[in-house]
Amino acid sequence: MPVNIIAMVSTETATSTGLKTEDLVINMGPQHPSTHGVLRLKLVLHGEVIKQCEPVIGYLHRGMEWLGQNRNFVQYQALVDRVDYLAGMSDSHAYVGAVEQIAGIEVPQRAEYLRILMAELNRICSHQLSLGIFMLDLGAMMGFPFYAFRDRESILSLLEEVSGQRMMFNYIRIGGVQQDLPKGWLAKAEALVKDKLLGYVDEYEDIITNNPIFTSRTKGIGIIEPNSARAFGLTGPNIRASGVDYDIRTAKPYSRYKEFDFKVITREEGDIFARYKCRVEEIRESCKIVLQAIEKIRALPSGEQAAKETELVAKKIMPGFKAPAGETYFAVESPRGELGLHLITDGTAVPYRIKWRSPSFFATNFLPEMAIGQPIADIVAIFSSLDVILPDVDR
């Protein structure tokens, strides 16, 4: 795969007038609008070309692992959504999945479908936001970002109806989900996906995909070479846009993803445009999964009697819940890639060790590999296309 690298020249170059040029050190961030949080990049420039790039992270470090190790399993549930605040459902799913795997808890069918339904809705709005801010970073100040934010809000209000919160849901709990759906929610969700979301995606494509300004800034730029990216642990749409068919939903199916029919979107080019296109297509696939999940939930028995006879949603887990001593790793496909949790327990009510394997951490580690040799104007586009979210990096 050809890599777009501008030839680097020596530190000091003599020009025809006898003047010498020097390297310039630029501090990008931490308070930079296009760093998606608080990231600092130390850049060494030769002219307009980046010679060195060093990400400095930790500005949003909240000690999520320490907090987990000093709270019991039930208390920590409420904090987990903050790891990656754009995909709280995926975070909860990873944490809860790990605890259930150690404790051997079986989750009711209805709760599994509800989890998948919520996680996919969450994925759609995460991708919409990433599209919006991506265009913002490319300079589309007015117009497009508002489309994405408008559409995202319609999903968030649905999720709020279910869980009581816009973003920090705390909906997926150990053993199931917090509560059943409100009356008429399924019809609302179905109408939203069928009548609006799919149309919205076409709208995005009409605005962006053939836009000559957009394509000239994205095609052939920031190419990810699949092998080196995999060695760096890059996952999610970033690696799928380079032709690697790796999606945990199909590679190591968790929950009940085996029963769903969807495509893993891959593209061969590996440039910024391919990553954008991958995300847009993934929104469509997620819509498909949401509709299937709605159908499956409708087919299950419902009503008060059924709820009494079989636990449709979940068995209540008490705060004194103790997981047996053990160790596990549970990974889910978050909108940004492989989000996993390594959990070690010692038989008490408090986790012994929690380790988050967050996809953005690995993507930020990979950033210098992409940035070096590129013009400074492209670094914002490249970084934005990785869809890194800084709370996920710093935890």
Partner 1 sequence: MADLPIKPGDDKLAMFFAKKKAIAEGKDPEQAAKEAYAKFHGKPLEEAKAEVKTEIKAEANASVEAAPVVEEPPKPPKTPEAKEFFDAANFKVEELGKDSSGTLMYEVSVEDIIQICKDLKAQRKFNLLNYMTAVELKKGYQNILRLESSKHDEAVVLKVTLAKDKPVMPTLTEVFASANWQEREAYDMLGIVFEGHPKLTRILNPDNWDGFPLRKDYIGPLDGLNQPIKYGVK
Using CB under 8 A as the criterion, which residues of the chain lie in contact with partner 1 when the complex forms?
57-58, 61, 63, 65-66, 69, 101-102, 210, 228, 230-233, 246, 251-252, 326-330, 338, 340, 342, 344, 352-353, 355, 357, 361-362, 364-365, 394-395
Burial label, 382 (beta-carbon count in 10 A; 0-12, 13-18, 19+): buried
What tokens does 134 get? 């991506």
Pairing type for strands 337-345 and 176-177 reads unpaired
The nearer residue to partner 1, 148 or 354, going by C-beta atoms, is 354
Pairing type for strands 176-177 and 172-173 reads antiparallel
The nearer residue to partner 1, 277 or 395, going by C-beta atoms, is 395
Q: How far is the CB of 17 from partner 1 (least distance, A)?
A: 39
The nearer residue to partner 1, 22 or 295, going by C-beta atoms, is 295
The nearer residue to partner 1, 71 or 230, going by C-beta atoms, is 230
What tokens does 157 get? 């209000």
The nearer residue to partner 1, 145 or 340, going by C-beta atoms, is 340
Q: How far is the CB of 42 from partner 1 (least distance, A)?
A: 12
Q: How far is the CB of 270 from partner 1 (least distance, A)?
A: 17
Helix (H) or strand (E) holding 53: strand 49-56
Q: How far is the CA of 87 from the CAs of 90, 169, 214, in angstroms?
A: 6, 10, 27
Neighbours of 231 (CB within 10 A): 11
Q: How far is the CB of 257 from partner 1 (least distance, A)?
A: 15
DSSP state of 353: E
b/e 24-38 (16+ beta carbons within 10 angstroms → b): eeeebbbebebbbbb
Q: How far is the CB of 266 from partner 1 (least distance, A)?
A: 14
The nearer residue to partner 1, 122 or 358, going by C-beta atoms, is 358
Q: How far is the CB of 68 from partner 1 (least distance, A)?
A: 11
The nearer residue to partner 1, 54 or 309, going by C-beta atoms, is 54
Task: Report the alpha-carbon distance of residue 209 to residue 229 in Å, rounded.
Answer: 25
The nearer residue to partner 1, 302 or 328, going by C-beta atoms, is 328
Residue recorded with tokens 């999964």: 289
Q: How far is the CB of 191 from partner 1 (least distance, A)?
A: 22
Q: 131-137 contacts: CB < 8 A, separation 24 or more? A: 131/204, 131/208, 131/276, 131/279, 131/280, 133/36, 133/384, 134/276, 134/384, 134/385, 134/387, 135/208, 135/214, 136/34, 137/34, 137/380, 137/381, 137/383, 137/384
Contact (CB, 8 A) for 50 and 372: yes
The nearer residue to partner 1, 103 or 189, going by C-beta atoms, is 103
Q: How far is the CB of 133 from partner 1 (least distance, A)?
A: 24
Q: How far is the CB of 58 from partner 1 (least distance, A)?
A: 4
Task: Report the alpha-carbon distance of residue 233 to residue 254 in Å, rounded.
Answer: 20
Sheet (strand 353-357) strand order: 326-334, 337-345, 353-357
